[in-house]
Structure 1
Amino acid sequence: MDSTSLMKTFKGERVPRITMATFKQQQVEDFYEIGEELGSGQFAIVKQCCERSSGRDFAAKFIKKRQSNASRRGVLREEIEREVNILQQIHHPNIVTLHDVFENKTDVVLILELVSGGELFDFLAQKESLSEEEATQFIKQILEGLQYLHVKNIAHFDLKPENIMLLDKNAPVPRIKLIDFGLAHKIAEGVEFKNIFGTPEFVAPEIVNYEPLGLEADMWLSGASPFLGETKQDTLGNISAMNYEFDDEFFGHTSELAKNFIRQLLEKDTKYVIDLLTYS
């Protein structure tokens, strides 16, 4: 199981139609000077680019399109359209902004806000540990971004340190930016949605158990996973069985208030998971 969707089921009277995204059938190179590679994934490469008309810097995400239904290489165009449609609805200081979209025979190119401060994952690795106050500042920004999404009934479904970026890592309090909406879905009332997807150590129990999904899945994990096992099967088993503890080595100086907040996030029964629309 990886970040590619493996299985999807909708049950209900009707699935709301989404307005089709507009992809410019023009050469992205005519409008942007493409620079160095910033990162890559299974079917996408992100490069720095500069808008020729304004001189502004952006990030160009080249997504490889699947060329046939028989192929397993590339991303289905309908999945790219879903990502673009969601990004076009989003305007929040803690979420990456979509600027433009281009398409050619092999790729769809998303022109995105350039977030140059690196991944929260790398920032944490360099610092080795955060104080509770520092962690609170990051969590607050992540939750504000999520609250904005959830008001719009959008679930991210792939919230992990690699998808949480810093606008400027040298700022006194770096601004958080949520990125990568490749697995994001708009949750429709009365329509059951199930899927097996995501990154194993960060998926919620309802994903592991192939149960109906909602906004609650985003509240599961956004930092270091306490469920990581020696194998993928061990990890998924730990999640399903809720095997975790507050080891004194890592939580000896953590307040009970913070531990209680973590317990509320790591709640297997979705009825009791923190609701960002009512929690303060």
Structure 2
Amino acid sequence: MTGSSRLRDEPHIGKYRLMKTIGKGNFAKVKLAKHIPTDREVAIKIIDKTQLNSTSLQKLFREVRIMKVLDHPNIVKLYEVIETEKTLFLVMEYASGGEVFDYLVAHGRMKEKEARAKFRQIVSAVEYCHQKNIVHRDLKAENLLLDADLNIKIADFGFSNEFTTGNKLDTFCGSPPYAAPELFQGKKYDGPEVDVWSLGVILYTLVSGSLPFDGQNLKELRERVLRGKYRIPFYMSTDCESLLKKFLILNPLKRASLEAIMKDKWMGMGFDDELKPYIEVKKDLNDPIRIEKLVQMGYSRKDIEESLGQNKFNEIMATYLLLAKKNVDVSFGLYVFYSYVRHIFVFTFVCMFMFACLCIFMCMFVCRYLQMPFFTSLCLFVVR
């Protein structure tokens, strides 16, 4: 069987070649896939719509709607949405470093310096969501992914929702060990405060490698969360402990805002600048180089303009966005290549200069020793 026929026989969705399964749920699975036109790896969440009732379908389409408006370096990006009668495919950024949970299992707790770098990224991304009136509601180590450079990528917005001032939410969401006490009590909540509590649990987990609240069963866990008591490890700094106490407060009204958290002493240690709310950079959807590449691939300029102008999250937009990632890699590769050539050139020039200096020195020596003119001795040296 030839390589091309083997590729044709492999499972495909649109322009993507499906590879291994990297995640599984009740009605969905996540596959690693390769975008054939750009050769980029992506993650595709495959949801069986036939298994969902109308409420679950509404929740699913809300997740898609929310992911479409999020554009932050520490949030998994949505590239394309493919829908058939029975299935929904969400093509997303692939975070090759895996889950923070697995990272902690493999490496143990983080030193505070490493935890701080990761936590700043997490807080920045969650605060950005809150800016957009979006609450995640399922923040936990399993939903924090790492890219190839170990940068944080927040994933799984399945429980996320929009919130507005004065309109309370009432759904118990997320993983119980990360859930705020008011959720266990069945109280209504505004939104951001439940994420703030979960962030406190995450900070504790990063620094200690364990959960602040745990139990043999849900009843025991609930009791511990409602007491709000947790053990402070002996190795945790007083500054980190002080920050934790701003998150893990039983009264949601007294929990710190993320803007205040950003200004905390522990958050800024080792960094020149205070962490500030993320200012969204407008997507560059008018890059002539990438547009020309799309034309070369066979897409019409009209379709390209329409897809990018209307943020359609279709095949064209996905290819455009993935070309940007590829260009970064290519540019970096060219930079490395030219740097290498430049260093070789400089080294060669220095060697030639030193050799020329040596020749002149030898000629001067011969000139003095044989008492002949300098030019004559130089000619004799070169001929030899």
Q: Normalising by structure 2, report the TM-score.
A: 0.60
Q: Deviations over 1:136-165 (max 9, x none)?
A: 111111101111111111111000000001
Tell me the equivalent position of 1:182.
158
Deviation at 1:243, TM superposition (A): 3.0
Tell me the equivalent position of 2:257.
275
Deviation at 1:245, TM superposition (A): 2.3
Do 2:81 and 2:88's aligned partners in 1 also have CA atoms closer than 8 Å?
A: yes
Deviation at 1:65, TM superposition (A): 1.9
Tell me the equivalent position of 1:5.
none
Match of 1:256 among 238, 247, 257: 238
Tell me the equivalent position of 1:265.
247
Corresponding residue SS for 1:139: helix
Tell me the equivalent position of 1:39.
23
Tell me the equivalent position of 2:218.
232
Letter of the 1:242 partner, please give it. Answer: G
Which sits farther off after the overlay, 152-161 or 28-37?
28-37
More helix by share: 2
Q: Distance in 2 between matches of 1:43 and 1:237?
A: 32
Corresponding residue SS for 1:194: coil
Tell me the equivalent position of 1:157.
137
Match of 2:102 among 122, 128, 134: 122
Do 1:88 and 1:98's aligned partners in 2 also have CA atoms closer than 8 Å?
A: yes
Q: Distance in 1 between matches of 2:184 and 2:12?
A: 39
Deviation at 1:66, TM superposition (A): 4.7
| Identity across the alignment (%) | 31
Deviation at 1:107, TM superposition (A): 2.1
1:145 and 2:125 matched: yes
Larger radius of gyration: 2
Q: Deviations over 1:8-51 (max 9, x none)?
A: xxxxxxxxxxxxxxxxxxx9723211111111123221001122
Tell me the equivalent position of 1:96.
76
Q: Distance in 1 between matches of 2:18 and 2:51?
A: 24
Letter of the 1:78 partner, please give it. Answer: Q
Deviation at 1:278, TM superposition (A): 4.0
Q: Which structure's relative contact order is higher, taking Cα pairs within 8 Å and 6+ residues apart?
A: 1
Q: Which runs of 5+ in 1 are unaligned?
A: 1-26
1:241 and 2:231 matched: no
Letter of the 2:248 partner, please give it. Answer: L
Deviation at 1:190, TM superposition (A): 2.1
Distance 1:68 1:41, change over 3 A: closer
Letter of the 1:232 partner, please give it. Answer: L
Q: Distance in 2 between matches of 1:61 and 1:102?
A: 10
Q: Distance in 1 between matches of 2:247 and 2:77?
A: 27
Q: Distance in 1 between matches of 2:64 and 2:48?
A: 14
Tell me the equivalent position of 2:193.
216
Corresponding residue SS for 2:170: strand
Q: Distance in 1 between matches of 2:177 and 2:89?
A: 29
CA RMSD of aligned residues (A): 1.9
Q: Distance in 2 between matches of 1:238 and 1:107?
A: 41
Q: Deviations over 1:164-183 (max 9, x none)?
A: 01102xx4xx2101000000
Q: Distance in 2 between matches of 1:155 and 1:63?
A: 22
Which sits farther off after the overlay, 112-121 or 132-141?
132-141
Letter of the 2:29 partner, please give it. Answer: I
Q: Which runs of 5+ in 2 are unaligned?
A: 1-10, 264-384
More strand by share: 1
Do 2:27 and 2:51's aligned partners in 1 also have CA atoms closer than 8 Å?
A: no
Corresponding residue SS for 2:13: helix
Distance 1:150 1:28, change over 3 A: farther
Q: Post-superposition, which runs of at least 4 consecutive aligned residues in structure 1 deviate over 4 A? A: 66-70
Tell me the equivalent position of 2:282.
none
Letter of the 1:135 partner, please give it. Answer: A
Corresponding residue SS for 1:254: coil
Distance 1:271 1:84, change over 3 A: same
Tell me the equivalent position of 1:6.
none
1:52 and 2:36 matched: yes
Q: Distance in 2 between matches of 1:202 and 1:44?
A: 23
Q: Normalising by structure 1, report the TM-score.
A: 0.81
Letter of the 2:130 partner, please give it. Answer: H
Corresponding residue SS for 2:116: helix
Deviation at 1:69, TM superposition (A): 4.2
